[in-house]
């Protein structure tokens, strides 16, 4: 991956970057996108007990069951 080092003045504008950002030239032409770095650890919405239960008793679905479930979600 190539690297571009930005001047401090530009970095100051990006200090609180918390979402995707379009990078444009002065004419408005899109040059690329910046994705913010995520330093926060991801947390599971499941408790440790729920995770352990799922590991011990994995539910297996047939292709047909998965397709039926997807249809219900639509």
Contact in structure between 26 and 19 (CB atoms under 8 Å): no
Give the tens place of pLDDT for each residue, 12-43: 888 778 888 899 999 999 999 988 877 777 78
pLDDT digits (tens, 9 = 90+) for 55-70: 888 778 889 999 999 9
Q: What is the pLDDT of residue 56?
A: 86
CA angle 42, 37, 26 (to 5 degrees): 150
**Can you give the residue ranges of every domain in the chain?**
8-37+44-73
């Amino acid at each position: 991956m190539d690297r571009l080092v930005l001047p401090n003045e530009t970095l100051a504008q990006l200090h609180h970057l918390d979402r995707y950002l379009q990078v444009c030239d002065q004419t408005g032409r899109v040059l690329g996108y910046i994705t913010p770095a995520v330093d926060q650890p991801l947390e599971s919405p499941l408790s440790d007990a729920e995770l352990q239960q799922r590991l011990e008793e994995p539910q297996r679905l047939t292709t047909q069951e998965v397709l039926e479930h997807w249809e219900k979600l639509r």
